[in-house]
Chains A and B, each alone.
Chain A
Amino acid sequence: MPISKNLVSGSIFLAAAMIFGIASASYGFGTPARIGPGLFPLILSAILGVFGLIILISGLQKDAPLIGRLPWRSIALIVASPLVLVGCVEYIGLIPSTALLAFVGSFASNSMTFRRAAGSAIVLALVVWLIFIVGLGISVPAFGLLF
């Protein structure tokens, strides 16, 4: 089934409106003079929900512009590479994780060779070490527990 642009964005807005709206409902609305933590976000969620629904419905029209083919391989790799850092940084430290992240991320572009990816991984790990650890002196473990 061809998927339209407005169907995608409308669904995201509507889903977000529901998540935020349901959560806000449990935070308490307070009184007019002392507004609770739930009221303002609930109003916003309602607005988002209404607009999300309008956008979604307009996306169901026959002639709605389609979103087209998505580059899933690139998307997966771009999303995965920060997650590599998330998964590794506590065990092997920032610098080795950076190298892994750069290596994985490099393959998001279509024309990438193993050697070039490894090269950029090493160079970027070095650059990060110089800028963030040596230069800025940010106190994160550079080389984690394994080293």
Chain B
Amino acid sequence: MEAFSNLADGFAVSLSWTNVLYCFVGVLLGTAIGVLPGLGPITTIALLLPLTITLDPTTALIMLAGIYYGAQYGGSTTSILINVPGESASVVTALDGHQMARQGRAGVALAVAAIGSFVAGTIATFFIAFFAPPLTELALKFGPPEYFSLMVLGLVSAISLASGSMLKAIAMLTLGLLLGLTGRDIYTGLPRFTFGSVSLLDGIDFVALAVGIFGLSEILRNLEGNTPRETLAQKINNLMPTRKDFRQIAGPILRGTGIGSLLGILPGGGAVLSSFVSYTLEKRISKQPERFARGAIEGVAGPESANNAGAQTSFIPMLTLGIPSNPVMALMIGAFIMQGIMPGPNVISSKPDLFWGLITSMWIGNVLLLVLNLPLVGIWVRLLSIPYNVIVPIVLVFSAVGVYCTAQDSFQVALLALFAFLGYLFLRSDCEPAPLILGFILGPLLEEHFRRSMIVSRGDPMVFLNHPLSASTLLIALVVLIVAAMPKARIKRDQVFAE
């Protein structure tokens, strides 16, 4: 089997001392930062991204992927222990996880989350190994119109899945696309939206944008009210699930993995959607649905497996097509570009070491999470009690210095300040930032493929409809948009998010 030999080659790369070490450092740092209240995976990755710039590309991406899983696991930890989901994917975990913690089963909830994530991660790694190569083959046949339409579909799905007003999501997305166009035009070299600044010729530094919009604005939100956080002072001693627990979680873990693996590939999908769907499914098929939201162990096992599987398979469209399906993947694409690699179907053949090394490192990352997090749970709990006024200067310093060191330009640090302010105003006026960052990464790609298609077709805009694949993709996008805009679907979606 080719998949197995590819995986074996990958392990040869990811099991090298350096890569295991950086994977470990990534997982550790990711968990540590992800556990801090108010810092979700996106902020964590953006904050720690500057630490990877001097590394070799493979090692850097392995470390970033590690940071991602770590941050996700950190988010689950805060959901379970203090009912503060660090990010939307662990909102569902908080429902039953925190109830379990209140019943004195915090350790078991954490262990189940780790075990579920591990099983899901293992299966998802194989899933990627089998599905990425055929998808790459297909992607190599895509021309500019197909790419354009696929990106439109991705963006439309992202808007439909954003919580809150769809009008605002579209506006945020468009603003992101425009911000992404800043810099020299690829065809004519004309500087656009630089307003005379030399620093902007290469565009807006995306670490500045991401950290400002996601990180610093979140800090401001947390500073609003000095609401005392509910810290669970109890000691966590009993980690081991019982036999009965194991029997109860086996089904949810496998179902969650399946849901996550499939939904992760879809544009706009990924961890968040997967965990919601898994929770709803478990509740629906349960013989005692009334136990849910009262500390049902299935309500932790299912969604946690689903979000980890989804997190992992969302790498597939990013690695094979170069199209991010969610903001985290947008950041990963940003990291690839910073390393001088353009993600897309060519990566697998031109850089097989990087491709398979990264994929196999995901499994190693999951092993490390399992062996690292359960024994270290005590430390993570202690991190939770760090007062917020200590966290504020740390985050500020790492964001500003990080931007300064990646961009080597103080103007971008000034932009960071601007984005922090704008980001906070957006938060206060219920505009979700995720579509903005997706738009920012996709802006230049979308324009490039649009203009290339028009060149290929000699100016005939029907090119997007004459190619069957492009036409059907656009049709799906249209259907998604209409369905999402229908009042009935809006209500249903709001219910899912409100639950």
| Least CB distance, A8 to chain B, in whole angstroms | 5
Question: Given the interface contacts A78-B420, A131-B51, does A68 sit within 8 Å of B428 by beta carbon?
Answer: yes
Question: Contact: B216 with A78, CB < 8 Å?
Answer: yes
Please provide the chain B residues from 412 to 439 with a CB less than 8 Å away from any CB of chain A in the complex.
Answer: 413-414, 416-418, 420-422, 424-426, 428-431
> Quick one: given A40-B450, A74-B223, A79-B417, are A136 and B393 in contact (CB under 8 Å)?
no
Closest to B447 in A: A40
Q: Which of B51, B53, B192, B422 has the most CB of A within 10 A?
A: B192
**CB of B250 closer than 8 Å to a CB of A:** no
Shortest distance in angstroms between B177's beta carbon and chain A's nearest beta carbon?
5
A146 to B431, CA, bound (A): 44
**Residues in A neighbouring B50, C-beta threshold 8 A:** 132
In the assembled complex, A120 has its CB within 8 A of some CB on chain B: yes
A34 to chain B: which residues have CB within 8 Å? 454-455, 459
Complex Cα–Cα for A106 and B297 (A): 41
B410 at the interface (CB under 8 A from A): yes
Q: Is B331 among interface residues, defined by CB-CB distance under 8 A?
A: no
Q: A79 and B421: CB pair below 8 A? A: yes
A138 at the interface (CB under 8 A from B): yes
Assess whether B239 is interfacial by the CB under 8 Å rule. Answer: no
**Contact check: which of A19, A28, A32 meets B460 at CB < 8 Å?**
A32
Chain B 45-80 interface mask (CB, 8 Å, partner A; 1/0): 000001101100000000000000000000000000
Docked CA distance A16–B422 (Å): 11
Given A33-B455, A105-B392, A105-B397, verify A44-B177 contact (CB < 8 Å): yes
**A86, B389: Cβ atoms closer than 8 Å:** no
Q: List, in ascending order, chain A residues with CB within 8 A of B389's CB.
A: 106, 109-112, 116
A86 and B421 alpha carbons, distance in the complex (Å): 16
Are A102 and B417 interface neighbours, CB within 8 A?
A: no
CB distance from A54 to the nearest CB of B (A): 6
Smallest CB-CB separation from A3: which chain B residue? B429
Interface 0/1 of B121-135, CB less than 8 Å to A: 000000000000000
Smallest CB gap from B186: residue in A:
A37
- Select A102's contact among B393, B413, B454, B458, beta carbons within 8 Å: B393
Number of A-B contacts (CB under 8 A): 197
Closest chain A residue to B450 by CB distance?
A40
**CB 8 Å contact bits of B173-199 with A (1 = contact, 0 = none):** 011011001000101101011010000
Q: Whole-angstrom distance from the CB of B171 to the nearest CB of chain A?
A: 4
Minimum CB–CB distance for A36 against chain B, Å: 7
Asked whether any CB of chain B lies closer than 8 Å to the CB of A130, the reply is no
Say which one of B8-16, B316-324, B401-409, B486-494 lies at the interface with A.
B401-409
Q: How far is A124 from B392 in the complex, measured between Cα atoms in Å?
A: 12
**Cα(A106)–Cα(B396), bound, Å:** 9
Q: Is B220 an interface residue (CB 8 A)?
A: yes
B399 with A40: CB separation less than 8 A: no
Name B397's contact: one of A19, A55, A102 (CB within 8 Å): A102
Residues of B within 8 A of A8 (CB): 425, 428-429
Q: Which of B393, B404, B454, B458 contacts A106 (CB 8 A)?
A: B393
> How distant is the Cα of A85 from the Cα of B404 in the complex, in angstroms?
9
Q: Are B417 and A82 in contact (CB under 8 A)?
A: yes
Bound-complex Cα distance A118 to B458 (A): 64
The docked-state distance in angstroms from the alpha carbon of A41 to that of B275 is: 36
Q: Contacts A82-B417, A132-B401 given; indicate if A33 touches B178 (C-beta within 8 A).
A: no
B390 at the interface (CB under 8 A from A): yes
Residues on A with beta carbons closer than 8 Å to the beta carbon of B430: 5, 9, 65
Cα of A35 to Cα of B427 in the assembled complex, Å: 36
Bound-complex Cα distance A145 to B400 (A): 21
Q: Nearest Cβ in chain B — how far from A106, in angstroms?
A: 5
Task: Return the chain B residue nearest A52 by Cβ.
Answer: B171
Other-chain contact of B54, A16, A23, A108, A138 (Cβ < 8 Å): A138
Interchain CB contact (< 8 A) of B396 among A37, A54, A70, A78: A78
Residues of A within 8 A of B167 (CB): 51, 54-55
Q: What are 25 inter-chain pairs, A to B, with CB distance below 8 A?
A: A8-B429, A12-B422, A23-B192, A27-B190, A35-B454, A37-B190, A37-B192, A41-B181, A51-B167, A65-B430, A71-B223, A75-B424, A79-B421, A80-B417, A82-B396, A82-B416, A83-B413, A83-B414, A90-B410, A106-B389, A108-B220, A110-B226, A110-B389, A128-B401, A140-B404
Given A12-B425, A41-B181, 6 more contacts at CB 8 Å?
A9-B430, A86-B411, A98-B400, A110-B223, A121-B393, A138-B54
Which 3 pairs show the lowest CB-CB distances between chains A and B?
A32-B459, A33-B459, A109-B389
